Structure 1
Amino acid sequence: MKELHILLPIKQIRLHKLTMRLKEPFMTSFGTVQDKDFFITEAIDDKGNHGFGESVAFSSPWYTEETVQTSLHVMEDFLIPILMENEISHPDQVSELFYPVKRNNMAKAAVEGAIWDLYAKNNQISLSQALGGTKKEIDVGISIGIQPTVKDLIQKIERFLEEGYKRIKLKIKPGLDMEVLREVRKQFPFTPIMADANSAYTLKDIDHLQELDDLDLLMIEQPLAHDDIVDHATLQSALKTPICLDESINSMEDARKAIELGSCRIINIKIGRVGGLTEAKKIHDLCQRHGIQVWCGGMLEAGVGRAHNIALTTLPQFVLPGDTAGSSRYWEKDIIKPEVRVEDGIIHVSKGPGIGYDIDEQVMKDFTEWTRVYDF
């Protein structure tokens, strides 16, 4: 890898508030999302390099306690002032500086992501290289929300398989689970399929969940409480189907404890959920040492967040297809150019500096509600 130089001083940070409408509503066991409010964070150095990050919190606290509004509060009143008061020579220092601010991982990741992109551009390398990634292409799967009918679901799966996606993720909840999964497995006997429960079950459902073992699923994701690792260990011991933890893993320490307890066999690493790329790397390295498979989950990101996910997925322990579908899966127009494209279930990793995609300034302007500037 090319030797990296010291990051030059940050001259300015800009927060852009955007609203983009998904092509179609995305339904989970928590509720439905169609209009996505989020922030693009932009960090500028004194060479004129621009680094970009993206916030992934939703407007309501259905995934974690964070929201768009709380992210703004934490970024404006705490995180950006911390950066103003400190010099940074490497993006890994950002998470250390942010440590006194408890949780608020999505706000932290949005700011840290812009610094990582700026750092890579300043050194004229790709974000993938800056992270230590080696893959030239990544396999991707698709996540499908709860559909009105099983027939609708089957048709969607057929279309996505024709497009080459390597794995299908289905949202489930009590009353919309085993019957649906059995029909899908009947129609697609050899397709890698996983079920995402978003914490919709409890240990009282253990006998019911054992029915999953007859369906040869790749995994069941986060079946129990969003903050649990103890009950998941009990459930995993009763299931042949691998459990994948998502919401329960907010740090490397969470991952370490879950692995030691036997709470899962797979971990979904989401940059926003764990507080940024630095923590995501630490979790990846821990899982690599312990033989735990990992994959990169999606949060309905626009192009900037999608590009960060691609770069992270080039690390070697990301052995399962992630949720980083192409831009056109979710958006009529994305804010980057070129847009993220999937060809036969594969994304080719950009070799360009930083995230490897340019901001489409006109499209971003069209979706931007306001911009705030913070001079250093």
Structure 2
Amino acid sequence: MAGESSERLETLQSRWKEFYGLIGNDSMDIRSITLRLIESPLKIPFTTHLETVTKRQAIIIEAKDSSGGIGFGEADPFSSPWYSAETITTCWHALCGFLVPLTLRKEISDPSALDQIWSGIRGNNMAKSGLSQAIWDLYARQKKVYIGSLFGAERKAVAAGAVIAANDPKNAIDQIEKYSEAGYLRYKIKISRRNDLKILSAIRQHFPEVALMADANSAYSIQDAKHLEKLDEFGLQMIEQPLAYNDLVDHALLQSKIKTPVCLDESIGSFQDARAALALGSCKIINIKMARVGGWSEAVRIHDLCFRQDVPVWCGGMIEFGVAKAHNIALAALRGFILPGDLFAASRYWEEDIVEPEITVNKGWIRVPEKAGIGFDINEEVLERLTVKKNNIE
């Protein structure tokens, strides 16, 4: 397994060198890494059968080199462990106590070395993702290229999908009508055993042609297979993570019983998970969340695996602020991302975001920027206003 991981890393490095000629022996010269805990209320609550989120926290990570250049990343665990084992508190601890000091002790010529540097630290993928983002952003700025181009991004715009989290059909329909003005290209409906048929039936009657998918966040078990077969009648693009968050076997059994494509989210925490899921037939679609899989390198490996096997992928979201959204836009510009992602406009959840220009959706699409790094500027005033804690590590 270690040899296979090393081979994948060498393949990535060779591809970057061949196409961009950017990898050299010079150190990135990272002198300090600053962590900011930021906090902002959501304009509208985000509700699933597991949790209702009304306020969002995130950790903004700034990697600075000796010339004053800064790369930005964002770690997005929730405040409680309802989606993943990581929380804001554990993520802050992993970054301050382990990942950041370890990173600063190393001479890094390019960020493809990070996986090896962090190999002795298990899990903590959201912490790793945020730090990975900051260092890749700094690297792209040093090389004066858009970050997506480092990984072969081709798209000039990415397709946006909206997430509808509602307790009743009327509220869901009202949200779709509101967001349809921006032309979102699909709507993901949060469902549970309690409301699925009622809410999907009402939406389908009101919007017979709109592209719909359902997200269950592990609300069912394999004993619900007969019930889940009823969802086939709604013509869904997919049902996301219907069974246990760490399951592959029962998802394979379920996929053999229903027509609706199963999409895996929480079950895919690594390249190895994705490979196992495809080998078992656990899904027909994969949601790639950079935050969930540990950063840029692992997300690209999963993308490449799925692309080789003609498995559609899309970019998942975490109700993130603009820094993580900028990284997700760049990721979604890779050619294998053929389905609309959870790439909402900044105004969906925030009165003010921390990047500019504002991220907007126009006729269902978000423009991919061309500037170096993540392609957006940081609104320092808003970032400072939202900061509740800060730690600079040298």
Q: TM-score, normalised by structure 2?
A: 0.93
**Residue among 365, 373, 376 paired with 1:357:** 376
Equivalent runs, 1:335-350 vs 2, <5 Å: 335-350=354-369
Equivalent runs, 1:87-106 vs 2, <5 Å: 87-106=107-126
Q: Which residue of 2 aligns with 1:51?
A: 71
2:32–2:104 Cα contact (<8 Å) kept: no
Q: Deviations over 1:168-224 (max 9, x none)?
A: 000001111012111111111111100000000001101000001111100000000
Equivalent runs, 1:50-129 vs 2, <5 Å: 50-129=70-149
Q: Partners in 2 of 1:86 and 1:227 — Cα distance?
A: 34
Report % sequence identity: 47
**Residue among 280, 293, 317 paired with 1:261:** 280
Equivalent runs, 1:1-376 vs 2, <5 Å: 2-5=20-23, 6-147=26-167, 149-375=168-394
Q: Partners in 1 of 2:327 and 2:149 — Cα distance?
A: 12
Q: Partners in 2 of 1:47 and 1:3 — Cα distance?
A: 22
Q: Partners in 1 of 2:159 and 2:299 — Cα distance?
A: 19
2:28–2:110 Cα contact (<8 Å) kept: no
Greater shift, 1-10 or 352-361, is seen at 1-10
Gaps of 5+ in 1: none
Give 1:2 deviation, angstroms.
4.2
Q: Which amino acid in 1 is paired with 2:137?
A: D
Q: Partners in 1 of 2:354 and 2:205 — Cα distance?
A: 39
Q: Partners in 1 of 2:166 and 2:292 — Cα distance?
A: 22
Q: Partners in 2 of 1:345 and 1:322 — Cα distance?
A: 11
Off by >4 Å, runs of 4+ in structure 1 = none
Q: Partners in 2 of 1:95 and 1:146 — Cα distance?
A: 39
Q: Which amino acid in 1 is paired with 2:332?
A: T
Q: Partners in 2 of 1:174 and 1:212 — Cα distance?
A: 11
Q: Deviations over 1:44-94 (max 9, x none)?
A: 111221000001100000001000000011111110111122111121211
Q: Partners in 2 of 1:101 and 1:2 — Cα distance?
A: 30
Q: Partners in 2 of 1:88 and 1:146 — Cα distance?
A: 46
Q: Partners in 2 of 1:34 and 1:151 — Cα distance?
A: 20
Q: Which amino acid in 1 is paired with 2:276?
A: K
Q: TM-score, normalised by structure 1?
A: 0.98
Q: Partners in 2 of 1:84 and 1:140 — Cα distance?
A: 37
2:355–2:377 Cα contact (<8 Å) kept: yes
Q: Partners in 2 of 1:202 and 1:58 — Cα distance?
A: 24
Q: Deviations over 1:3-32 (max 9, x none)?
A: 315452101100011111110110011110
